[in-house]
Chain A
Amino acid sequence: QITLKESGPTLVKPTQTLTLTCTFSGFSLSTSGVGVGWIRQPPGKALEWLALIYWDDDKRYSPSLKSRLTITKDTSKNQVVLTMTNMDPVDTATYYCAHSEIWIQDFDYWGQGTLVTVSS
């Protein structure tokens, strides 16, 4: 059974750096073809893909946010970490992590999401 769970601060101040951790079980990020992605959703708005890391440490970023994002993995801990610098109120959103596989490139298992509010 695949599960994912996001953790991190619920409130950050403008200009601060956000660090989110995705802790997962039921699969390994050392297995060929596996990836973990981050997707966010501002309140009442659509989904937006942010970043994804593959089993071989290949990393993909949304071009519009690439300069602010870093994604890393710790295979031994079954964790993926996303950092986003220079947070702004427009970054207020629910942040999800999700499992993916390179052959299909969809997101078949999702975490419950964590709401991050950016406010002074």
Chain B
Amino acid sequence: EIVLTQSPGTLSLSPGERATLSCRASQSVSSSYLAWYQQKPGQAPRLLIYGASSRATGIPDRFSGSGSGTDFTLTISRLEPEDFAVYYCQQYGSSPQWTFGQGTKVEIK
């Protein structure tokens, strides 16, 4: 079973700052099947990044994804007030086919 470990658990930053979120897999993950989601309180998750580095429809270019193998990163170049939320990485691969990380909360400092 592939386990996704996200770090840090909480990131305290100010608007305008750069956020770097990490997702580490216990085994190699196909870059084609690594995604990132944003979730705000009381809302469903929203797909941000698919295929490790491709932005989903309508996602601003301040969001970018990178990485391969076991190490993946979500970067928010300049935090906007609406970006403070919880972020999850997700992979598709060996059973269980879909797994999520435990999440990183980006909070206002």
Instruction: Among B44, B47, B51, B97, point to the contact of A49 (Cβ < 8 A).
Output: B97
B100 touches A110 (CB 8 A): no
Contacts of B33 in A (CB 8 A): 104-106
* B contact residues, range: 20 to 34
Q: Mark A35-66, 1 if CB is under 8 A from B, else 0.
A: 00101000000111100100000001011100
| Majority-rule SS of B interface residues | mixed
- Nearest CB in chain A: distance from B72 CB, A: 13
A46 touches B100 (CB 8 A): yes
- Nearest CB in chain B: distance from A76 CB, A: 26
Contacts of B46 in A (CB 8 A): 110
Contacts of B92 in A (CB 8 A): 105-106
Instruction: Say if the beta carbon of B90 comes within 8 Å of chain A.
Output: yes
Contacts of B103 in A (CB 8 A): 46-47
Instruction: Tell me the complex Cα distance, A41–B76, Å.
Output: 25
A63 touches B95 (CB 8 A): yes
A106 touches B45 (CB 8 A): no
B47 touches A107 (CB 8 A): yes
Instruction: Tell me the complex Cα distance, A34–B19, Å.
Output: 34
B90 touches A106 (CB 8 A): yes
Known: A46-B103, A106-B35. A62 touches B96 (CB 8 A): yes
- Nearest CB in chain B: distance from A72 CB, A: 18
B100 touches A47 (CB 8 A): yes
Known: A46-B88, A46-B103. A107 touches B45 (CB 8 A): yes
- Chain A's closest residue to B57 (CB) is A108
Instruction: Say if the beta carbon of B84 comes within 8 Å of chain A.
Output: no
- Nearest CB in chain B: distance from A2 CB, A: 11
B102 touches A46 (CB 8 A): yes
Contacts of B37 in A (CB 8 A): 47, 107
- By Cβ-Cβ distance, the 7 closest A-B pairs, closest first, are A105-B92, A106-B35, A49-B98, A110-B44, A47-B100, A46-B102, A106-B50
A-B contact pairs, 5 of them (CB 8 A): A49-B99, A104-B32, A107-B45, A107-B47, A111-B44
User: With A47-B88, A106-B92, A110-B46 given, can you name 4 additional A-B contacts, CB distance below 8 Å?
Assistant: A37-B98, A46-B102, A49-B98, A106-B33
